[in-house]
Chains A and B, each alone.
Chain A
């Protein structure tokens, strides 16, 4: 019995709006004071004898007294109504005026104090946020941390008209990012994302919470966040950013769906570049942000020796890629600890590291900058990186420059220095998270593409540029299921033979092709890279398309509307209404049987 009671108490508290009950309990004293003073004033007015305009004895009624006190207390002051007061009444009215004004000031001051109260503000914001989250009935994503990464992710998701809920600890970064300019309304909570209660407020355990993205700057917070979201909502997808290896391993240990480490991710991208500059260009096209600049020339990269400045997490990840691709590299690092770490890790390549800073001319010459093909300025300090690049350019103007930019504010400087490739940890993370959430199939595509040779990449580039031209490609995934492609699903169920061709024909004019190409077809776990037009579509196929956004809209007609599909597949229209269906059933039955036997 005793155990039950506190629980019930809690639920009843949850139901009552905390803001209203806070106002009510704070306003108790001022309101009672106001009522008492009004009552005293009224009693005084009705008990003092007066005279009317003819000089007869007269007493104010309660109604008149209430009227009089009301306009006096609110400092409106209509005058002596209904009859002129005598001096006794005037004496009392003086008292009334001061008493009521003080009572009103006290009440108003109390309300203003409450509105300013940080506890009240917090309660009000939380309540409003909770209501906004509860109003979301479609699928939504929870983004924690609205730094550069978080904002990029939120923008990408809202551009695709997904609903997003944000938790951010720092009110300043909320102000800095233009969260109100996005395509969808985004509810924000200023709170610590590592506290489970705040995640609950943001609707993490609601069934329509599709996934959680941990994009805060702290690995610790991301770890806690991943942990609590796996416990509170195991079905949801969790993607976390992590800079340090120990945290990454910890996150993976409890099945965090994806851990994005910007350094390893960039190393993978760089590896693509070493493998084939065209492949890197494809990657850049397909994963870039919607508003990013498109270049259609692959980066010009020669085979030869590289110089890698600073051997930290970033340097280590990149050096592994050099080893993989059998590319010679010289490392410059002035830190003794990094030096010995390198020598421990790479026993066979002891000569590859030089103990020098890499920012001055002497050490760069020592590393042989004149005959190197590329230099990577990968330190944690932006000024050092910039200095390295400028010195290296002076010594070898032809050198390929990769720069690591740590702070967003330095963007202008990095643009001026004209590095061939700029690595921004936050941008890389946002890019990966965007791909993982919007087009997980794109990851598979890129994985397979890495195994192809340069010629293949060049063919893909020419095909892509033929379709999309100069504009930014749109990527989408189509699944041949009853829900996502009802018309195609039904046609296949009827036994008609559908090919990829049908999907890429314009449903408005059969002679035209939609501006898109299929990149990957997944059937029962088998991947078919760049499937050709004659590929037959089966139930459950997942197809990754790349092309113009308008092409996707047109394709939706074919996927969803039987008449469009019939037109595209060159079939006669079937009746859609019940009456016609009943009348024409016989005729169409015969036709379909014929089709099937063919």
Chain B
């Protein structure tokens, strides 16, 4: 068992599960989407992205690209949140929550692709 491989898969799957956890719930209900969960999703995604740096496997560039996409989506969601609460001080209106959640939904998709690619690579290695 390769401990590096475990860590790698662990962070990728954790990124997906946390992201999904944040995403699930009513689209416009702020109570269903926790800010600390978003924070955790971003941190885990950051770590997952950096783990993919310099990965020279054949799917490496694809994996890195999906992670970067997820990161862009999540950071924009966080920025929207910051804007709403701290800068414009409008608070979390249902429209803002919908925007944040839909952005994180895109990140979920990117993370799913990332995990699928991981699975493909693993099965290819087996053979």
Instruction: Report if B39 contacts A (CB, 8 A).
Output: yes
Report which of A28, A39, A61 forms a contact with B53, defined as CB distance below 8 A. A28
Contacts of A22 in B (CB 8 A): 54
The docked-state distance in angstroms from the alpha carbon of A28 to that of B58 is 19
Chain B proximity mask over A25-50: 1 for CB below 8 Å, otherwise 0: 11110011001100100100010000
Instruction: Report if B35 contacts A (CB, 8 A).
Output: yes
Nearest-neighbour CB distance to chain A for B37, whole angstroms, equals 11
The docked-state distance in angstroms from the alpha carbon of A9 to that of B51 is 20
Q: Which of B19-57 contact A (CB under 8 A)?
A: 35-36, 39, 43, 46-47, 50-51, 53-54, 56
- Given A12-B58, A61-B85: A25 and B53 interface contact (C-beta under 8 Å): yes
- Complex contact B58–A25 (CB within 8 A): no
Chain B proximity mask over A407-423: 1 for CB below 8 Å, otherwise 0: 00000000000000000
- Complex contact B54–A63 (CB within 8 A): no
- Complex contact B51–A13 (CB within 8 A): no
- Given A61-B86, A62-B35: A8 and B58 interface contact (C-beta under 8 Å): yes
Contacts of B35 in A (CB 8 A): 61-62
Report which of B36, B39, B51, B82 forms a contact with A28, defined as CB distance below 8 A. B51
- Complex contact B56–A13 (CB within 8 A): yes
- Complex contact A35–B46 (CB within 8 A): yes
- Complex contact A21–B56 (CB within 8 A): yes
- Give the A-B contact count at a CB cut-off of 8 A: 46
Contacts of A64 in B (CB 8 A): 86
Contacts of B56 in A (CB 8 A): 13, 16, 21
- Complex contact B39–A35 (CB within 8 A): no
The docked-state distance in angstroms from the alpha carbon of A21 to that of B50 is 12
- Complex contact A35–B54 (CB within 8 A): no
Nearest-neighbour CB distance to chain A for B92, whole angstroms, equals 12
Contacts of A561 in B (CB 8 A): none
Instruction: Report if A493 contacts B (CB, 8 A).
Output: no
- Complex contact B54–A21 (CB within 8 A): yes
- Complex contact A35–B58 (CB within 8 A): no
The docked-state distance in angstroms from the alpha carbon of A443 to that of B51 is 63
- Complex contact A42–B39 (CB within 8 A): yes
Report which of A13, A24, A32 forms a contact with B47, defined as CB distance below 8 A. A32
- Complex contact B54–A25 (CB within 8 A): yes
Nearest-neighbour CB distance to chain B for A3, whole angstroms, equals 15
The docked-state distance in angstroms from the alpha carbon of A46 to that of B46 is 20
Among B46, B51, B53, max chain A CB count under 10 A is at B53
Nearest-neighbour CB distance to chain B for A399, whole angstroms, equals 72
Among B35, B43, B82, max chain A CB count under 10 A is at B43
- Closest partner residue, chain B, to A47 (CB atom): B36
- Given A8-B58, A21-B56, A39-B43: A32 and B86 interface contact (C-beta under 8 Å): no
- Closest partner residue, chain A, to B53 (CB atom): A24
Contacts of A24 in B (CB 8 A): 53-54
Contacts of B82 in A (CB 8 A): 63
Contacts of A16 in B (CB 8 A): 56, 61
Contacts of A28 in B (CB 8 A): 50-51, 53-54
- Closest partner residue, chain A, to B55 (CB atom): A25
Contacts of A62 in B (CB 8 A): 35-36, 39
Q: Which of B66-93 contact A (CB under 8 A)?
A: 82, 85-86
Contacts of A61 in B (CB 8 A): 35, 85-86
The docked-state distance in angstroms from the alpha carbon of A35 to that of B71 is 14
Nearest-neighbour CB distance to chain B for A99, whole angstroms, equals 15
Contacts of A12 in B (CB 8 A): 58
- Closest partner residue, chain A, to B64 (CB atom): A24
Contacts of A39 in B (CB 8 A): 39, 43
- Closest partner residue, chain B, to A36 (CB atom): B47
Contacts of B46 in A (CB 8 A): 35
- Given A13-B56, A35-B43, A39-B43: A63 and B85 interface contact (C-beta under 8 Å): yes
Nearest-neighbour CB distance to chain B for A52, whole angstroms, equals 15
The docked-state distance in angstroms from the alpha carbon of A388 to that of B1 is 79
Among A26, A61, A64, max chain B CB count under 10 A is at A61
The docked-state distance in angstroms from the alpha carbon of A63 to that of B51 is 25
- Closest partner residue, chain B, to A46 (CB atom): B36
Contacts of A63 in B (CB 8 A): 82, 85-86
The docked-state distance in angstroms from the alpha carbon of A42 to that of B54 is 28
Contacts of A42 in B (CB 8 A): 39
- Closest partner residue, chain B, to A42 (CB atom): B39
Q: Which of A59-97 contact B (CB under 8 A)?
A: 61-64
The docked-state distance in angstroms from the alpha carbon of A559 to that of B61 is 55
The docked-state distance in angstroms from the alpha carbon of A16 to that of B86 is 42
- Closest partner residue, chain B, to A21 (CB atom): B54
Nearest-neighbour CB distance to chain B for A28, whole angstroms, equals 5
The docked-state distance in angstroms from the alpha carbon of A470 to that of B36 is 87
The docked-state distance in angstroms from the alpha carbon of A9 to that of B61 is 13
Nearest-neighbour CB distance to chain A for B15, whole angstroms, equals 13
Nearest-neighbour CB distance to chain A for B82, whole angstroms, equals 5
Q: Which of A451-503 contact B (CB under 8 A)?
A: none
Contacts of B47 in A (CB 8 A): 32, 35-36
Chain B proximity mask over A1-28: 1 for CB below 8 Å, otherwise 0: 0000000110011001000011111111
Among A13, A26, A32, max chain B CB count under 10 A is at A32
Contacts of A8 in B (CB 8 A): 58
The docked-state distance in angstroms from the alpha carbon of A21 to that of B64 is 12
The docked-state distance in angstroms from the alpha carbon of A21 to that of B52 is 11
Contacts of B53 in A (CB 8 A): 24-25, 27-28, 31
Nearest-neighbour CB distance to chain A for B83, whole angstroms, equals 10
Contacts of B85 in A (CB 8 A): 61, 63
Nearest-neighbour CB distance to chain B for A48, whole angstroms, equals 14
The docked-state distance in angstroms from the alpha carbon of A21 to that of B54 is 5
Q: Which 6 A-B pairs have the closest CB atoms?
A: A25-B54, A24-B54, A24-B53, A39-B43, A31-B50, A63-B82
Beyond the given A32-B50, A61-B86, A62-B39, please list 5 additional residue pairs across the A-B interface where CB-CB is below 8 A.
A24-B53, A32-B47, A39-B39, A42-B39, A62-B36
Give 15 pairs: A residue, B residue, CB < 8 Å, sorted on A.
Answer: A16-B56, A21-B56, A23-B54, A24-B53, A25-B53, A26-B54, A28-B51, A28-B53, A31-B53, A32-B50, A32-B51, A35-B43, A46-B36, A62-B35, A63-B86
